[in-house]
Amino acid sequence: MDKNSISNLNEKLKGEKGIHTDFKQDMTYSEYLLLDQVLSSQKLLSNHHDEMLFVIIHQVSELWMKLILHEMRSAIAAIQQNKMQPAFKMLSRVSKIQSQIIQGWDVLATMTPSEYLEFRDKLGKASGFQSYQYRLIEFALGYKTKHILKIYEKDVALSKLLHEAHKAPSIYDVSIQALARQGLPVNKDLLNRDFSVTYAGDETVAAAWKEVYLNVNKYWDLYQLGEKLVDIEDWLQQWRFRHMKTVERIIGFKVGTGGSSGVSYLKKVLDHRFFPELWDLRTNL
């Protein structure tokens, strides 16, 4: 910006007579957002320049995941109460958030293997594999891995939260219940099943979704619900893929700091489908 442009901008700002500048008695933007806490939460363990990038990318991802969980929990409750339109708004927002996290991997990928090696040993056994919010998202989507709960036993309150989420119905469980409420012949055993077990698919659910997609006008809300779920799984798989490729780009096939097989593990989870009937019907319609 040249001097004339700056001068013109300053003149325009002077004309903004309503801008508040005295905050001796009022809350500021920084105070509202607790920015002193947020911006002082990057406690680096090395002197390497790129550790700041590594910490901030992961902290930002966790903040986005917190918002995903906020939206997912409310969407699950809304579907249970047959309030479909608010649920659709929340699920659409989840998809947009997922796109932001995916872009975060692109920023992290600017770090080279040599740069990461300069501080990787400082992480000890800490790893993104241990992200409890990511596990809560998986639980909310219906992927219930019981063995993973052992990681969180150190924190009693957190462990309790995860065990409760592990037993709670997922977004797909409540969607199947919504199919049944609309009179579609769904296996009744699914409606009050053990929700701590990962859903594996059912012929009656497949038939119900096929009926919905063949009669869109009659089942418009259910049709929209199905497409919102497909959006979320699509974005999640893209998120997982970008994660896997970023890890491969930076550490190759090394074992992860948390002891996982790293890229090999990340490739394996790409094969899991959360909402199998919604994908299968693309072929079966």
How is 142-181 classified by DSSP, letter by letter?
T---SGGGGGGTTSHHHHHHHHHHHHS--HHHHHHHHHHH
Asked if the structure places residue 9 within a domain, the reply is: no
Residue 258 has pLDDT above 80, yes or no: no
Residue 132 has pLDDT above 90, yes or no: yes
CATH code assigned at 125: 1.20.58.480
Asked if the structure places residue 76 within a domain, the reply is: yes
**Domain range for residue 185?**
48-283
- Binding-site residues sit at 54-58, 116, 120, 243, 257
Query: In Å, how far from its chain's centre is CA 104?
Result: 13
Asked if the structure places residue 192 within a domain, the reply is: yes
Residue 30 has a pLDDT of: 95
How many domains is the chain partitioned into structurally?
1
Which pairs count as long-range contacts for 239-245, CB under 8 Å and 24+ apart, including other chains? 239/98, 239/101, 239/102, 239/105, 240/266, 240/269, 240/270, 241/270, 242/102, 242/105, 242/106, 243/105, 244/270, 245/105, 245/109
pLDDT band at 17 (very low <50, low <70, confident <90, very high): confident
- Contact status, residue 149 vs residue 159, Cβ threshold 8 Å: yes
Residue 95 has a pLDDT of: 97
- Contact status, residue 204 vs residue 185, Cβ threshold 8 Å: yes
- Binding-site residues for heme sit at 243
* Reported pTM: 0.90
Residue 9 has a pLDDT of: 66
- Structure token digits, residue 60: 């930002």
Asked if the structure places residue 14 within a domain, the reply is: no
Residue 185 has pLDDT above 70, yes or no: yes
Give the model confidence (pLDDT) of 265-280 as tens digits: 788 888 889 999 999 9
Amino acid at 267: K
Asked if the structure places residue 11 within a domain, the reply is: no
Residue 271 has a pLDDT of: 83
Asked if the structure places residue 28 within a domain, the reply is: no
Asked if the structure places residue 7 within a domain, the reply is: no
- Structure token digits, residue 59: 């902290």
- Binding-site residues for substrate sit at 54-58, 116, 120, 257
Asked if the structure places residue 33 within a domain, the reply is: no
249 contacts: CB under 8 Å, gap ≥ 6:
109, 113
Residue 57 has pLDDT above 80, yes or no: yes
